[in-house]
Structure formats: C-alpha cells, structure tokens
C-alpha cells in the first residue's frame, strides 16, 4: 500500500534552459501570436532623454566557447539617475524610457545588443554615490540560477574608483571584468562564465 504524504516534498532543481527562450522571447523562436514583439526588445523611443548608446557583447563558457542560447536582461537608471520603479522616491523617471531590456544571444554569432541611454549616478543604500552602471542578469542552459553582474563605463574613472561595490572586490585585477570597452557610442561587454577571465558575479 502506498504511504500517504502529509507534507509537500521539495521538487528537484532544474536548469534555466533550453526552453527559457520559448517563454520569454517567443517571437525570437518564431512563435507568433503571444506578443506583438518580445517584451524588453525596445527600451527607448524618439522622445527618450539622455545620451544614446549601444551595449553589446558575447558570453563565453569556461572553454572560451560562445554560449549561443543565453538570455540577457539589463536593468538601469535613466539619464538623470532615476529608476522607472514604484520605489523611486527621488523624482519622476523619464516616462519614455523603460529602464529594462531583454535580449537573447544570437544562434549565429552569440551576440546580444541593447539600444539604450547612458545612466546617471545613483545613491547606494548608505548614501554614497554609485558610478553609472548597468545591472545584468544572465540565464542559459546549464545555469541553475540566474547570474548577476554589473557593467561599468571606462570613461568614468573617478566615479568607478569610488564606487561602493567595486571597492569591495579584494582582487583588484578582477575589477576590469566589470568594465566595458568603448568605441564612440558603442560599448562592448563580454561576459565569461568561468576560467581565467571569469566575470565577477554578484550574490543578490
């Protein structure tokens, strides 16, 4: 006779992929009729305030192979350093800026790409200013939990040197893994999941 269960049992853990794209970016997967366009595809419009920038890059595994089935989200403040969030109490964020974007990596070249604006500085919980940055969330097949990191701007040398989070990184050589490369208005931010070039990931 089967024993009765008097409590719920923990379900086994599963990785985020490979079906994460079907639920989050159906149009990318050629599944129509769910959304007119995939959520997070567009962050700006022609009325968005601030300096327009492009952020793109690739994700590499521990063997330096491209991860072509990852999903990347970014979260950021607007050009004035305000968040599009109900918890924002410092002022009204730009209504023409979403503050959030989502992009799958290309199955061809592994590239992700966001058209956005450069964020302003925002306060840390203790009141200190944080350097302008983007918060990244990455999921892919084989990753049990979404990975968080930040991208900082190379021209913000003074602000980066005083950023509360960057100051907490004991191995100073690893700070560079969180700083993008710049060419004009295009910032390249490659993410390394493992290995000698492993990006600093945040436990949040």
Strand locations in 22-166, DSSP E? 52-60, 71-75, 100-104, 111-117, 122-123, 129-130, 133-139, 147-152
CATH ID of 40-192, from 2.60.130.10, 1.20.1250.20, 3.40.50.2300, 3.30.565.10: 2.60.130.10
| Per-residue pLDDT reduced to its tens digit, 28-40 | 888 888 888 888 9
Mean pLDDT, rounded, for 62-90 = 93
pLDDT at residue 133 tops 90: yes
Mean pLDDT, rounded, for 59-79 = 94
| Per-residue pLDDT reduced to its tens digit, 78-100 | 999 999 998 888 999 999 999 99
pLDDT at residue 164 tops 60: yes
Q: How far is CA 19 from CA 88, 106, 130, in A?
A: 33, 15, 35
Give me the percent of the chain exceeding a pLDDT of 70. Answer: 94
pLDDT at residue 1 tops 60: no
CB atoms within 10 A of CB 47: 9
Q: Which pLDDT does position 95 carry in this prediction? A: 96
pTM across the whole model: 0.89
Of the two residues 130 and 86, the one the predictor is more confident about is 130
Which DSSP state fits 50?
S
| Tokens linked to 52 | 């327009």
pLDDT at residue 113 tops 80: yes
Q: Where along the chain do its domains lie?
A: 40-192
**Cβ atoms of 66 and 109 closer than 8 Å:** yes
**Cβ atoms of 51 and 44 closer than 8 Å:** no
pLDDT at residue 16 tops 90: no
């Amino acid at each position: 006779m089967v024993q009765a269960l008097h409590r719920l049992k923990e379900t086994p853990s599963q990785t985020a992929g490979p079906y994460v794209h079907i639920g989050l970016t159906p149009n990318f997967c050629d599944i129509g009729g769910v959304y007119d366009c995939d959520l997070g595809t567009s962050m700006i419009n022609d009325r968005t305030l601030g300096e327009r920038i492009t952020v793109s890059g690739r994700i590499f595994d521990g063997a330096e192979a491209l991860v072509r089935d990852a999903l990347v989200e970014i979260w950021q403040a607007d050009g004035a350093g305000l968040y599009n969030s109900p918890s924002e109490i410092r002022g009204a964020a730009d209504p023409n800026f979403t503050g959030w974007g989502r992009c799958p990596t290309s199955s061809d070249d592994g590239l992700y790409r966001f058209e956005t604006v450069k964020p302003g500085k925002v306060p840390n919980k203790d009141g200190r200013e944080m350097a302008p940055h983007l918060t990244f969330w990455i999921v892919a097949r084989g990753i049990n939990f979404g990975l968080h990191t930040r991208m900082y701007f190379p021209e913000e040398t003074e602000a980066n040197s005083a950023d509360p989070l960057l100051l907490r990184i004991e191995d100073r050589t690893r700070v560079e893994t969180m700083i993008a490369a710049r060419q004009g208005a295009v910032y390249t931010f490659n993410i390394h999941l493992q290995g000698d070039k492993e990006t600093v990931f945040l436990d949040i």
